[in-house]
Amino acid sequence: MTLNCLKNRFLVLFFSIFSLSVIAQDQAAIESGKTLFKNNCASCHNKDMKSKLTGPALGGVEERWADYPQEDLYTWIRNSQSMISQGHPRATELWNEWKPTVMNSFPTLSDEDVANILAYINCTYEGNCPGQVQVAADQGVPGQSKGEQESNSLVYVFLLAILALLAIILARIISNLNYMAVMREKGEAPERKTLVEILTSKGVISFAIFAAVVIGGFITVNNAINLGRQQGYEPDQPIKFSHVTHAGVHKIDCNYCHDGARRSKHSVIPAANTCMNCHKAIKVGSQYGTGELTKIYASVGYDPNTDKYIEDYESMSEEDIKRIYTKWIADTYITDKGSLDSEGEELIENQWNGIVSSLTNEEAGDTKIQGPIEWVRIHNMPDHVYFNHAQHVSVGKVECQTCHGKVEEMEVVKQYSPLSMGWCINCHRQTEVKFADNKYYDNYYEMYHEQIKNNKRDKVTVEDIGGTECQKCHY
Ligand code: HEC
Ligand code: HEC
Ligand code: HEC
Ligand code: HEC
Ligand code: HEC
Ligand code: HEC
C-alpha cells in the first residue's frame, strides 16, 4: 500500500477536479456564445436553429462548410458580402437562395467569439448544451425549453456523484493512514473495516443525511428564487417589441405606455389598444415587415386590409381569422415583390405560424388567437413586499433608469437591479429626500427644517423618514 496507492488516489481526485473545471469552461464558452448570438444574430436567425426566419436555420452549419477551410466560415460571419463578391462557392449558393436579404457584417467578432457562437449553435441544435442558468420555471413561459432544465438536473446529479466519490476516497485515505499509524505503533496489523462497514458507520450516514438536507435545501431555495425573479432575467416575448425602437430612436416617453408608474402602485404593461394608436398607421415595419405587427392586429381583431375592427371577432373560427391575416401578408408581399412565388408562400405560412404560437399557449389551455397579448413578466416581487411606483417616481422623483437601467437601449428588457431587500434599504439609506416643492413632505419639512437651520443635521435621507422600518415594506 502506501505511497503508490496514495498517489493513485490523488490522481483520481485530481482528474475529477480537472474534469469539473473543463465542464465549467465549456459552459462559460457556451454562455458567452449564447449572449453573442442573442445580441447579434437572433433578430434574423431562429434560435431553435431548426427553422428559417429572415435568414436560414443555422443548425448543422459547420457540415455545410466542411468542404472549405475553417477560416471561410469565420470570414463569412465577419463579412459575408466580401465572400459573395469574391465568388466563394458556398457564399454564392447562399446568396442565390436568400438575395436580396443581406446579412450584417460583424468585423469586431474575435475568433473566440465566433467559436463560442458556433458551439452554442451546435449544442442547441443537438439539444445537449451543458447546464445553463435556469430561468423562471413559470408555467407557459414561451421559449422556455424543458431541455434546459433537464440538463441542469443532470449537472446536479453529476456533481453529487463526484462529491460522493471524493468523500469515499478521502475516507479511504484517512482509514489507510490510521491503519499505517497503528501498524507502526504496535507492529501488528489491526482489524480493518470493510468498505460496507465504513459506508454504514454512524459518521458516514449522518454526513450523508446532512449533505442531502443541505443540497435539497439549496435546490429548493434556488428554484423558489428563480420562480419569482432573477437579475438579468430576459425572457423571450410573444412580440419582438423593442424599447430601442420606441423609447430610444422614436423617443416615446415611458409614461405614454407605462402610465401607471406616475399615478399608482403598478406601472402596468400597455394594452394592445395603446399600440394601435400608432400601428393603425404604421402597418408594415422596416425590420420584420408584416411578421410582428400583424400579431397586434390578430390579438385585437383589427383588419389591416380594410382598416376596420372586425365585428364579432371573439366568436370567429381560426380558419376565418387565418384567411384575413394571410390575405394581408400576401397582399403586402405582392405589393413589394410583384407576384406571389414559392418563397412568398413559405413566408406567409411562417408568419401565420408565428402569429398562432405567439398568441396561444397550449400548456396554459389558451387555444384562442383572440385576446390580450400575454407578455412575459420580468419583474416579480414576492407578495409580502409592498412597492409603490408612484411613491418613487412622482413623490421621490427617482428616474425610471435608476432602478431599471437604460431601458431605451435594451432591445429586450431585462431585470437590471437585484430587487433584493438589501438593494431597497441601501438606496433608502443613501438617498436624500427631495423636499423642495413637495406637498407630500410638508409635515416632515417643519420638523427637519429647524434641525437643518440649527446645523444639527445636513441632510435628510429616506431612512430618516422611516424608509427602513419593516412595516413600511412588509404587509
Ligand atoms: C440582418 C439579418 C442577419 C443577421 C443579424 C445575421 N444573419 Fe446570418 N444570414 C442572414 C441571411 C439573409 C443569410 C443568407 C445569406 C445571405 O442572404 O446573405 C445568412 C447566412 C448565415 C450563415 C450561412 C448559413 C449556411 O447554411 O451556410 C451563417 C453561418 C450565419 N448567417 C451566421 C450568422 C451569425 C453567427 C450571426 C450573428 C453574429 C448572423 N448570421 C447574423 C441574415 C442575418
Ligand atoms: C410604446 C410603448 C412603450 C414605451 C414608450 C416604453 N415601454 Fe416599457 N414596455 C412596453 C411593453 C409592451 C412591455 C412588455 C414587453 C417587454 O417586456 O418588452 C414593456 C416592458 C417594460 C419593463 C419590464 C416590465 C416587466 O415585465 O417587469 C420595464 C421595466 C419597462 N418596460 C420600462 C420602460 C421604461 C423605463 C421606458 C422609458 C425609457 C419604457 N418602458 C418605454 C411598452 C413600452
Ligand atoms: C407612439 C407611437 C407608437 C406606439 C404607441 C407603439 N409603436 Fe410600435 N413602432 C412605432 C414606430 C415609429 C416604429 C418604427 C417603424 C419602422 O421602423 O418601420 C414601431 C415599430 C414597431 C415594431 C417593429 C416593426 C418592424 O417590423 O420593424 C413592433 C413589433 C412594434 N412597433 C410593436 C409595438 C407594440 C406591441 C406596441 C404597443 C405595446 C407599440 N408598438 C406601440 C411607433 C409606435
Ligand atoms: C425605486 C425603483 C423603481 C423606479 C424608480 C421605477 N421602478 Fe419600475 N419597478 C420597480 C420594481 C421593484 C418593480 C417590481 C414590482 C413588483 O413586482 O410588484 C418594478 C416593475 C415595473 C414594471 C412591471 C409592471 C409592474 O408595475 O409591476 C414596469 C412596466 C415598470 N416597473 C416600469 C417603470 C417605469 C416606466 C418607471 C419610470 C416612470 C419605473 N418603472 C420606475 C422599481 C422601480
Ligand atoms: C433608487 C433608490 C430607491 C430604491 C432602489 C428603492 N427606493 Fe423606496 N424610496 C426611495 C425614495 C427617494 C423614497 C422617498 C419617497 C417617499 O418618501 O415617499 C422612497 C420611499 C419608499 C417608501 C415609503 C417610505 C415612507 O416612509 O413613506 C417605501 C414603502 C419604499 N420606498 C419601498 C421600497 C421598496 C420595497 C424597494 C425595493 C423593492 C425600494 N423602496 C427601493 C428610493 C428608493
Ligand atoms: C425598503 C423596503 C424593506 C424594508 C424596510 C424591509 N424589507 Fe424585508 N424585504 C424587502 C424585499 C424587497 C424583500 C424581498 C427580497 C427577495 O425577494 O429577495 C424582503 C424580504 C424579507 C424577508 C423574506 C426573506 C427573503 O429573502 O425573501 C424577511 C423575513 C424580511 N424581509 C424581513 C424584514 C424585517 C424583519 C425588516 C425590518 C427590520 C424588513 N424586512 C424591512 C424589503 C424591505
DSSP string, 424-440: HHHHHHHPBP--TT-GG
- For residue range 227-273, what is the model confidence (pLDDT) as tens digits? 444 677 778 899 999 999 999 999 999 999 998 888 788 888 999 99
3-state secondary structure of 304: coil
* Nearest alpha carbon to residue 131 among 117, 145, 116: 145
For 306-340, give the DSSP string.
TTEEPTTGGG--HHHHHHHHHHHHHHHHHHHHSS-
**H or E stretch covering 302:** strand 302-303
Best mean pLDDT range from 100-114, 219-233, 240-254, 441-455: 240-254
Please answer whether residues 274 and 280 qualify as being in contact, where contact means their C-beta atoms are separated by less than 8 angstroms.
no
- Domain match, 116 and 162 both: no
Q: What is the pLDDT of residue 140?
A: 32
251 lines ligand 3 (CB under 6 A): no
* Nearest alpha carbon to residue 139 among 211, 70, 235: 235
- Domain match, 323 and 440 both: no
Domain count, the chain: 4
**Number of the ligand 4 atom closest to the C-alpha atom of 269:** 29
| Integer Cα distance of 341 and 83 in angstroms | 28
Q: What is the pLDDT of residue 131?
A: 60
- How far, in Å, from the CA of 47 to the mean position of ligand 3? 23
- Domain match, 121 and 41 both: yes
Examine the pLDDT at 15 and tell me if it is beyond 60: no
- Domain match, 285 and 193 both: no
- How far, in Å, from the CA of 54 to the mean position of ligand 1? 9
- Domain match, 82 and 156 both: no
Query: Model confidence at 132, in pLDDT bands (50, 70, 90)?
Result: very low
* Nearest alpha carbon to residue 58 among 6, 94, 111, 14: 94
Examine the pLDDT at 314 and tell me if it is beyond 50: yes
The answer to whether residue 402 is domain-embedded is no
- Domain match, 125 and 156 both: no
Which residues are within 8 A (CB) of 219 and not within 5 positions of it... i.e. 6 or more apart?
156
Please answer whether residues 461 and 433 qualify as being in contact, where contact means their C-beta atoms are separated by less than 8 angstroms.
yes
The answer to whether residue 398 is domain-embedded is no
Residue type, 261: A
Q: What is the pLDDT of residue 4?
A: 52
Grid cell locating 416 = 437590471
- Domain match, 213 and 275 both: no
**Number of the ligand 2 atom closest to the C-alpha atom of 404:** 29
* Nearest alpha carbon to residue 252 among 237, 262, 242, 261: 242
Q: What is the pLDDT of residue 88?
A: 93
Least confidently predicted of 174-183, 216-225, 398-407: 216-225
- Dihedral sign computed on CA atoms, order 404, 244, 333, 106: negative
| Integer Cα distance of 105 and 121 in angstroms | 18
CATH, residue 23? 1.10.760.10
- Domain match, 10 and 89 both: yes
**Number of the ligand 4 atom closest to the C-alpha atom of 229:** 17
Residue type, 364: A
The answer to whether residue 47 is domain-embedded is yes
The answer to whether residue 457 is domain-embedded is yes
- For residue range 136-186, what is the model confidence (pLDDT) as tens digits? 333 333 333 334 444 556 777 888 889 989 988 888 888 888 888 888 887
Q: What is the pLDDT of residue 362?
A: 81
The answer to whether residue 383 is domain-embedded is no
- For residue range 320-344, what is the model confidence (pLDDT) as tens digits? 999 999 999 999 999 999 999 999 9
- Domain match, 90 and 8 both: yes
Among 347, 364, 381, residue at a domain's last position: 364
**What percent of the chain has pLDDT above 70?**
84
**What percent of the chain has pLDDT above 90?**
44
- How far, in Å, from the CA of 407 to the mean position of ligand 6? 26
- Domain match, 8 and 123 both: yes
For 216-267, give the DSSP string.
HHHHHHHHHHHHH--TT-----SS---HIIIIIIT---HHHH-THHHHSS--
Residue with CA at minimum distance from ligand 1 atom 19: 55
Could you report how far apart the first and last alpha carbons of the chain are, in Å? 65
Q: What is the pLDDT of residue 369?
A: 92
Judged by its nearest atom, the ligand closest to the C-alpha of residue 423 is 5
- Domain match, 98 and 153 both: no
| Integer Cα distance of 299 and 36 in angstroms | 32
Residue type, 81: Q
| Integer Cα distance of 41 and 45 in angstroms | 6
Domain hosting residue 21, numbered range? 3-130
Which residues are within 8 A (CB) of 232 and not within 5 positions of it... i.e. 6 or more apart?
414, 415
3-state secondary structure of 214: helix
Which residues are within 8 A (CB) of 385 and not within 5 positions of it... i.e. 6 or more apart?
473, 474, 475
Among 130, 159, 174, residue at a domain's last position: 130
Mean predicted confidence (pLDDT) in 428-452: 74
The residues that bridge with 385 in the sheet, in sequence order, are 474
> Which residues, judged by CB distance below 6 Å to any ligand atom, belong to the binding site of ligand 1?
40-41, 43-45, 54-56, 58, 61, 64, 76-77, 80, 94-95, 98-99, 101-104, 106, 117
Pocket mutation for ligand 4, best pick of 230, 256, 257, 267 (most atoms within 8 Å of C-beta): 267
Among 228, 252, 283, residue at a domain's last position: 228
The answer to whether residue 346 is domain-embedded is yes
Examine the pLDDT at 101 and tell me if it is beyond 50: yes
Mean predicted confidence (pLDDT) in 61-90: 91
Q: What is the pLDDT of residue 196?
A: 77
The answer to whether residue 201 is domain-embedded is yes
* Nearest alpha carbon to residue 322 among 292, 291, 298: 298
- How far, in Å, from the CA of 174 to the mean position of ligand 6? 45
> Which residues, judged by CB distance below 6 Å to any ligand atom, belong to the binding site of ligand 5?
385-387, 391-392, 395-396, 398, 402-403, 419, 423-424, 427-428, 431, 433, 462, 465-467, 472-473
The answer to whether residue 333 is domain-embedded is yes
For 107-163, give the DSSP string.
TT--HHHHHHHHHHHHHHHHT-----PPP---TT-TT--HHHHHHHHHHHHHHHHHH
- Domain match, 95 and 18 both: yes
Q: Cell numbers 427631495 label which residue?
A: 434
Mean predicted confidence (pLDDT) in 10-38: 72
Using N-to-C axis directions, what is the helix angle for 272-279 and 293-300, rounded to 10°?
120
Q: What is the pLDDT of residue 22?
A: 59
* 151 against 460, higher pLDDT: 460
- Dihedral sign computed on CA atoms, order 182, 183, 187, 192: positive
**What mean pLDDT value characterizes the chain?**
83
* 142 against 466, higher pLDDT: 466
